[in-house]
Amino acid sequence: MAAQKNRFRDSFFTLFSEVFGERIATILILLYLSSGILGIGTIAAGIGQYLSFFGIDDILLIELLIIALFWGINLIGITLSGITENLLTALKVIPLVVIALLLLPSVELQNLTPLVPITATGLVTTVLLVYWPFTGFEISTIPVDEMRDSRMVPYALAIVMLVVSAEYLLLNIALIGSVGSAVLAASPAPIATAAALILSRSGSTVAVIGIIAMLSALNAYLVGGSRLLHSTAVALHVNSLTSLNPRGAPMAPLLLIAILSAGILFLTNSFEALAVLSVLTTLVPYLFFCIGAYRVVPGFSKRLITIAGIASCGGLLLLSFLF
């Protein structure tokens, strides 16, 4: 059992505890786990918005069932979870790129001009919402001991960030430029609305693609959060959270995260509110992670990256509290 309990590395907790001490490390891990739980709630609420596009009323119940479904998938094991993630990723990326390319000929420059004055509060809120889709990339490094070749992780992360940035930029230019920000802002499912206006009877298909995209992110949050909670519990000797099932899945962490994520939805089902809270609770661990990496990672070029991280995370936190 001892060998089984130490299956997952506790690199996050190790870095935090070595640089800041065990007490601060525990607080930072709890904040990071809270951001993941809020992230799952955010995704579930976003799925609910797309379901409302179809006129479905019992949104909360379906959101809870979706969380339960992916809890079951992850409980079966990392192999099924990984296959599910790969399939969902392919199903969301390819159609979104195709839709963006089809919308580009309809882009009008005047649609890219802001219709309302930019305020400090509005700008900060927008930045936090835009920042949210880029959070969670570090989840790929958490289940490293379950990967066939962990040496590919740095290259995979770089490719993911480049692809995601390019796709988001292309999609947003296509959506806003072709339809206009006012129409998109009034819609619970903006991609579906844009496609329905430009491409005949495609709104329902695009709404399904949006749901698939969010299901992929929800699965990733469950994988990363459960592994991190397990490894931290091992480091802190919290035995009630260290058991693994025969397939190597952390049972208690998976269940706890799923229950807390579902509970969040009973407090609020607002995508915007949950997204902002998720970003804020993510930024603090990000900031301390960059500070810790600066102190332990050698090399001038690598430290420049950590300095950029410290500046961006610290700046966003400062702006969020000022406005």
Kindly list the distances between the CA atom of residue 315 and the CA atoms of 68, 150, 277, 283, 309, in Å, as whole numbers in the listed order: 37, 32, 16, 10, 10
Q: Is 180 left (phi over 0), alpha (psi -120 to 50) or beta?
A: left
Q: Give domain limits for the chain.
A: 2-281
DSSP state string for 245-312: -TTS-BHHHHHHHHHHHHHHHHH---HHHHHHHHHHHHHHHHHHHHHHHHHH--SHHHHHHHHHHHHH
- In CATH terms, is domain 2-281 a member of 1.20.1740.10? yes
Q: State pTM to two decimals.
A: 0.77
pLDDT tens digits along 232-256: 898 888 999 988 888 888 999 999 9
Q: For the chain, what percent of residues have pLDDT higher than 90?
A: 24
Q: Pick the closest to residue 314 from 288, 278, 275 (CA basis).
A: 288
Three-state DSSP state, 244: strand
Lowest mean pLDDT among 69-83, 109-123, 192-206, 217-231: 192-206
**Model confidence at 1, in pLDDT bands (50, 70, 90)?**
very low
pLDDT at residue 4 greater than cutoff 50: no
Is the Cβ–Cβ distance between 224 and 146 less than 8 Å?
no
DSSP state string for 196-232: HHHSTT-HHHHHHHHHHHHHHHHHHHHHHHHHHHHHH
**Pair of tokens at residue 76:** 């079966």
**What's the mean pLDDT in 167-182?**
85
Three-state DSSP state, 102: helix
Tokens 């479904």 belong to 69
pLDDT tens digits along 42-69: 999 989 888 887 888 788 999 999 999 9
pLDDT tens digits along 257-284: 999 999 999 998 888 888 888 888 888 9
Phi, psi at 13, each rounded to 5°: -65, -35
- In this prediction, residue 12 carries a pLDDT of 77
Tokens 């309809």 belong to 106
Q: For the chain, what percent of residues have pLDDT higher than 70?
A: 90
